Structure 1
Amino acid sequence: DVIHAKGKRAGVVLKPATPVSAVLPYLERVELILVMTVEPGFGGQSFMTDQLDKIRAISALINERNPACELEVDGGIGPDTYRACVDAGANVLVAGSAVYGAEDIPARIQLLRS
């Protein structure tokens, strides 16, 4: 409520070990839920495929209880992982190393947007 009173959007971030249930008290009060698919701290880590179930579960909750909420995924997003995240329900992806380490950055961005 304080965040919204300041005219800002609110969000919740879940680290890999944080269960889906942690978002339940906030689900109807946020505009964004971010699922980390690596341990936060440094770039270039490998995508944790076991987080796809969490993304699917949160996507279902969002569709049921707060369809305007965005579902963002950050960590290990690249050419071989982005599609699985989108298919699981993510609509915002954060890609660092996969973009900035690419030989052709615009082409990589275009690929990740397809």
Structure 2
Amino acid sequence: MIKVAASILACDLARLADEVKRVEKHVDMIHFDVMDGHFVPNISFGLPVLKALRKETKLPISVHLMITNPEDYVDRFIEEGSDIIAVHYETAPHLHRLVHKIRDMGAQAFVAINPHTPVFLLSDIIMDIDGVLVMSVNPGFSGQRFIARSLEKIRNLRKMVKELGLETEIMVDGGVNEENASILIKNGATILVMGYGIFKNENYVELVRSIKQERGEFAD
């Protein structure tokens, strides 16, 4: 089953609770981007907003930590209600220890990779994680154009997962829309993160419905 994650980075933050209530019947999870102005050139949400959001929805919340020193914060984000924690390969020098800390605390551990980071670097950690977050734009801002080369990365990642007999989720974030959703799924994506496509789209219900009917070439 293909899943859709609604990224609140694109919603009306003055009406956060209402925005989440509006879409939660149609999506599978809420996506929460954390930016520190250091690892990425933007600042977004933190723990107080997550705590407030957790009270407003029963949907799983995926937290994408676009921050340096993620090991200093994962426990607090899990305590405030994260179901999935995605940490960047580029910011975690002790990645194996960090992902096991996340899983030991009861959350799913995802590893995020930037557009310039090759998939093969995940070969020594892929067995230890629940999913990979492929950034298909340079992280930091919503509404960017999809980087076409990401399709090859998704395809190579799905091949790695299949050859190892794993059920690792492949989440794609950045420039995902009605024009490329189908091809992303056919190349192996299992979770699509959408911000503008959900919160700024009058026809988002139809879009989500069509996405969930798609099946990738790697599907059973």
Give the fraction of aligned pairs with identical amino acids, expressed as a percent.
30
SS at match of 1:89: coil
Please give the alpha-carbon distance, in whole angstroms, between the structure 1 residues aligned to 2:107 and 2:203. Answer: 35
Q: 1:4: how far off?
A: 2.1
RMSD between superposed Cα atoms in Å: 1.3
- Residue of structure 2 aligned with 1:94, choices 182, 193, 199: 193
Is 1:52 the equivalent of 2:151? yes
| Shift of residue 23, structure 1, vs aligned partner | 1.1
Q: Which residue of 2 aligns with 1:72?
A: 171
Does residue 1:105 correspond to 2:204, yes or no? Answer: yes
Whole-Å separation in 1 of the counterparts to 2:172 and 2:155? 11
Report the 3-state secondary structure (helix = DSSP H, G, I; strand = E; otherwise coil) of the residue aligned with 1:71.
strand
Deviation at 1:5, TM superposition (A): 1.8
DSSP 3-state at the match of 1:10? strand
Residue among 3, 12, 29 paired with 2:128: 29
Gaps in structure 1 of 5+ consecutive residues: none
Structure 1 moving runs of 4+ over 6 Å? none
Return the offset for 1:68: 1.6
Give 1:7's aligned residue.
Answer: 106
Structure 1 residue 26 displacement after superposition: 0.8
How far the C-alpha of 1:108 sits from its partner, in A, is 2.6
- Superposition TM-score, scaled by structure 2 size: 0.49
- 1:50 deviates by 0.8
Q: Give distance in 2, aligned partners of 1:50 and 1:108.
A: 24
Q: Which residue of 1 aligns with 2:141?
A: 42
State the Cα distance separating 1:49 from its structure 2 match.
0.9
Q: Which amino acid aligns with 1:35?
A: V
Contact 1:79/1:111 (<8 A) preserved: no
Higher strand fraction (1 or 2) = 2
* Counterpart-to-counterpart distance in 2, 1:4 and 1:36: 22
Please report how far the alpha carbon of residue 74 of structure 1 lies from its aligned counterpart in structure 2 after TM superposition: 0.7
Is the 8 Å Cα contact of residues 74 and 93 (structure 1) preserved in structure 2?
A: yes
Bigger CA radius of gyration: 2
Q: Deviations over 1:12-37 (max 9, x none)?
A: 10110111122112100000111010
